[in-house]
Structure 1
Amino acid sequence: MKVPLANLLCITVLASSGTSFPMERRGTAAGKEKRVQYAPWDDVNVLAHGLLQLGQGLKEHVDKTKGQMRDITIKMKVFNVTVSELGKLTQRLQEDSETLKAKAQNLEENESLVLNVSTGLQEKTEELLRDRQKDHERMNKLEEKIDGMLQGEGLEAGKANNSDARIIQWMLEAQNKRIDDLVERIKQQQEKLDKQNIRIRTLQNQIHMRNERSSLKRKEDDTQLKMSSEQRDSPVAMASDCHELFLRGETSSGLYTIQPSDSRPFEVFCEMTPDGGWTVIQRRQDGSVDFDKLWQAYQTGFGSLNGEFWLGLEKIHSVSKGGNYILKVQFSDWRDESQNITYLFHLNGEERNYSLHILERPAGNLESFLSTEASGVPFSTRDKDNDLKNDLNCAKQLSGGWWFSNCGHANLNGRYFVTPAPKQRHQRKQGVFWKTWRGRYHPLKTTTMMIAPAEIENKS
């Protein structure tokens, strides 16, 4: 049962005032013997227990505050990204609006030109129709004269003038036909102009509606941007690990680019789970990559992020140095039986040979792959012997680089044996194994190591 903080302070003050100093008591007048009276043992226990409870409560409060500050920082980064994207969207909307305005202006000019041409054609059409009416009247008068000439004169006079009348009638018919053809072409042109006018009006309506929507969208964006005007020009920071990408909305496992503090950007494989994002630092699955590498390779990393790989000690250090991180180890054997375990850990930098510290050990036997050295266990390869065995190079004897406290606890970077494993014991001990799970001669089929902030474990 947890004691409230105020009660603990009261207990501490009362206990201190009542039992902190020894009390002197006067004796007889002759001897004046002084006796010292000490506080009862139960009071001392109460005081000590209260101080321990107070310290534990303060530690939990500090850890909780650190987690909340990290979440707030991540959310601020996400907010900065959103503000930057809104700014870019506003700029694109302004450019589109200017383009639409230019198109609308061109359309208005074209519409004015078409309307002028249409008006001119209508006037010409009316003029041609009036000329046609006049020609019809003239032709009717000529026909009446011809009929009169044919009826009023004799046959000889009629025969003499018949040829001229027919020529005139033919000319009039030809003229009428030309006028009819011209009127028909004018009608067709007028229909085309009418269709063009309808299209222009439709485009104008569409442009008007788009301008209204753009204006409304721009007002909404301006309102949002005004709320964060001080943060609009702040640089967009990359995520520092896969869990921060998860908090930004990424939920699919795969390759991403991150940039931890004081580090250059680099690519990682993120394992996204319902509870958060894990940065994978090692994977073995088919033996396609030789893990018997030297120090430089283990420091910078090797392999393919989509297959087997080692991320690199320097990259692992840059990701995990930002706070409390946990290490999850998953492995399975050739019988498809699997196991996993997590550790709260800390990894030193190059100056300490990337020493690994296991801060809290979970219950069970699987956690004992390192010794309990207070200074941590440094990383070791066959060209850089940092293990704790004075008379033996564990990396050279077992193959691969690892945190070797001695040569027999675990080695997930050893030689990959496809079942069945070699019969010789000195060869089998070079394989991938975890001693406290099936023994050091039991080869593993798959291994995965991944890291994430410690708060992900509290949410799961």
Structure 2
Amino acid sequence: MRTSLATLTLCFVVLMATGFPFEKKGASPSAGAAKEKRVQYAAWDDVNVIAHGLLQLGQGLKEHVDKTKVQMRDIFSKLKVLNHTVTELGRESQRLRVDGEALKARAQGLEDREGHLLNVTAELREKAEEMQQEKRTMSERMIRLEEKVDSMLQGNTALPDMNPGAKNNSDASNIQLMLEAQSRRIDDLMERIRLQQEKLDKQNVRIRTLQSQIQHSRQMSTPQSSSTQGPVQRGVTEQRDSPVEMAADCHELFLRGETTSGVYNIQPVNSEPFNVFCEMTADGGWTVIQRRQDGTVDFDQLWEAYEKGFGNLNGEFWLGLENIHTIAKEGDYILNIKLSDWGDDSASVRFVFQLGGKDTKYSLFIQESGTFGTLESSLGTDAIPGLPFSTLDQDNDRKVDTNCARHLSGGWWFSNCGRSNLNGRYYQSPPPKQRHQRKQGIFWKTWRGRYYPLKSSMMMIAPAAISQS
């Protein structure tokens, strides 16, 4: 721009020079007169117009230069900000890469620890099986010894050349000593089995904790699908479209005209929608909160699983303590329990109940019992003042020196470990012979006894008004 201004100034000087010529010193007058005839002078007005135009052009060029400088300063400022942003993004990308590698390393470490624990658990199980085999061998030897004692008491082993009474007394004394030794060995073996079982229980708790940590780490490193609705929703397909305004429970769906049992989507008050299985009957719609029927789902779960729910709504499942509380918190509800044994006999009982929230450990409060008094005493009497829920990792039962969930199995509203447990282990018929195994099954003591594993159970809830409809 400066070069252009200099060029314009030079042109202006040339024009001025041509407009006002001058004579050289020492020239003759006649020569000057002749030259004056050849030179033509520019008009003063033309010179002023040209000068004025050049001044305006210079002023315009100056303004354009100033504006260009301002724009270039803005561009440089924006480039500086952009460079700073790119640098920050590079640092953030590096930090995220480091965090991702750390998460992967942590997950790998947890998987290694899980594998080690699984190996240790397998070894402990093998030892426990060896002890069980040794115990069976001891039991067989005891049976043989008892048979021998019986035969000797009957005089079958007395020899003719000895006094029968002395012979029997000597053999009886020896057998008594052998029995005492065997009894001590059996007691020692049972103690070893008990210690091994405690170790197995501890290993199982550690394995479940590690599995939960691994799953949490994978969830942190893997984007979650927006369509996932919870643990109990996997493998579930709705049979009908939900109404435009979602119902609060299955009985409300029944009142709207739904009569087919199946999976529906509900939305209790002040809650997110979730799927449930509705059992539609002649008197109303029941929301199923638990079903046991074939043992396909492991109910020996920790507190978090029982709180959120697990299983398949079309098969075996537990709806989740939080979901149950969300449905039943608005008023009195009826808890309907249906049981069946391996002889295809069935029984049921109904309670008016309330379920507390997380702050009460989801305590179950029974207000009044149903019509089946023989079933009622296995849960209703103990739950009238309120029974908190207990699991393997949260001992909330009333038995001071025992964790009922660990002593039995699964999570339940335990009182003193022996009245009822519909979330225990599922045993096919015939049940196991060992008593300590049978009492870990699904049982309702006042119907078939504590040591009878039931074939199926189903727990359903509905508003108390269903009994009046």
When normalised by structure 1's length, the TM-score is 0.48
When normalised by structure 2's length, the TM-score is 0.47
